[in-house]
Amino acid sequence: MANSITIDSSGPLPVERPASGAELCSLVSQTRARKHGLYPVGGRTTLDIGFPPSKPGVACDTTALAGIIDYPARDMTITVRAGTPVAAIQAELAKEGQWLPVDVASPEKATLGGAVAVNASGPRRLGYGTLRDYVIGISFVTDDGVEVKAGGRVVKNVAGYDLMKLQIGALGTLGVVTQLTLKVKPKPEAAASVVFGCDSASLSAVLDLVASSKARPVAVELLNQPAWRAGGVSPLMVGEWGILIGFEEKSAAVRWQVATLLDELKSAPVRDAMELPDTGFCSALTALQLRPESRFIGKVSVLPSKLADAVLKLPPGALVHAHALSGVVWLHSVEGLPEGATVRRGAGASKPPAAWELMRHVKKTLDPDNVFNPGRLFGDV
């Protein structure tokens, strides 16, 4: 591995690789004493999220802090070190017919700690939620170089303040996560999808029909032609927009839901509705979040009922894919992003800070010397 790393065109930063919690605590204490910044990195799949680092320091590679700590399968919980790749966790869960039903891009590289730091999710967030819904226990190192714990190893744990939620999506700015306990689910018995196309004039009506369907999908994805091609989705798309709807349940429930939706679509303004034998599109579309060819990548959040209007107003030629019934739109462009978009990748573009004054206050309270990922989430605190 390289001994230095560049984060958002800043650096190079020297890389430290603590092999234990004690080494990590010592590294944090030393970094704070030097008035430097500590930049946690794992699988390095999302280093382009956030602002550039705002002061010198070191990158803290967490991949040596990996492995399964405890997996009582009958309790449907698992405790894992934060540097463990998501794919390795899924492989362990699969041995017991279980899984973590959250889509994470590049799961063979992405670590659990990194995925929690960005609150990763994908198409299945409609049916299963995001990582925020599965973390029930957490350990992390504070700016004092002390490892603290919140939550526990049981699902119905209500002791103490909910410090877990502060860390999820905080981009590593409030501490270095070392260990996580997750609740997990049984793997679904069967999966299938329904795919069809439609034109812009019919898009709003079609999405309304899907939202009111008797079927209950785990994913409803909307793609324009460029996104369909980039995602490698098969079959060929007919129409200006393609819609993919995924079901994961017991076999009988999947069969009923697919048949019900196909019947509802018979009178709808759609093209070439057909069934696909799995929900493989979820992984393919999650991977688009890291598409290397995209210079600008952003997200727009809207009410699901307003999503059709929102995507039809986006710049022509942009690559667009959306979690349609969750109200989340991903936009890829070579020329920039519209006002109001949350920048996922900017290629040197301005990344204006959100109006998160409460979160800035939390940052100043928990990390007054701005040790952890300084500048990366809030700019200059």
DSSP state of 194: E
| Cα pseudo-dihedral 216, 219, 222, 226, rounded to 10 | -150
Percent of the chain clearing pLDDT 70 (strictly above): 93
Highest mean pLDDT range out of 109-118, 162-171, 346-355? Answer: 109-118
Burial 271-284 (b: 16+ CB within 10 A, else e): eebeebeebebbbb
More confident site: 260 or 48: 260
Domain 1-187+351-381 annotated CATH 3.30.950.10: no
> Would the pLDDT of 366 be above 80?
yes
Mean pLDDT on 95-118? 97
Q: Which residue has the higher pLDDT, 163 or 68?
A: 68
* Average pLDDT across the chain, whole number: 91
pLDDT of residue 349: 47
- What phi, psi does 51 have (nearest 5°)? -80, 165
**Element (DSSP H or E) covering residue 21:** helix 21-33
Q: Which residues, including other chains, have CB under 8 Å from residue 256's CB and lie 6 or more apart? A: none
Output the six-digit token pair for 380. Answer: 């200059």
The first and second tokens of residue 84, run together, are: 């463990």
Asked if 179 contacts 80 with a C-beta cutoff of 8 angstroms, the reply is: yes
Q: What is the pLDDT of residues 223-248, one digit of tens each?
A: 999 999 999 887 777 789 999 999 99
- What residue ranges in the chain does DSSP mark as E strands? 4-7, 10-16, 37-41, 57-61, 68-70, 77-81, 98-99, 135-141, 147-151, 176-183, 185-186, 190-198, 219-224, 241-249, 271-276, 296-301, 319-323, 328-333, 342-345
Q: Which of 166-175, 211-220, 235-244, 287-296 has the highest mean pLDDT?
A: 211-220
Query: pLDDT tens-digit profile of 299-331?
Result: 999 999 999 999 999 988 899 999 999 999 999
**Looking at this protein, which amino acid is placed at residue 353?**
P
Tracing tokens 């605590």 back to the chain, one arrives at: 25
Distance CA 3, CA 190 (A): 45
Q: Identify the three-state secondary structure at position 130.
A: coil
pLDDT at 335 over 60: yes
CB atoms within 10 A of CB 158: 8
Q: Which pLDDT band, with edges at 50, 70 and 90, does 157 fall under?
A: low
Mean pLDDT throughout 59-75? 97
The SS3 assignment for 6 reads strand
What's the rounded Cα separation, in Å, for the pair 330 and 300? 7
The pTM score is 0.92
CATH number, domain 190-344, options 3.40.50.10860, 3.40.47.10, 3.30.70.2190, 3.40.50.720:
3.30.70.2190
> CA-CA distance, 339 to 331, in Å (whole number)?
12
Higher pLDDT, 208 or 295: 208
Q: Where are the domains of the chain?
A: 1-187+351-381, 190-344
Number of residues that make up the chain: 381
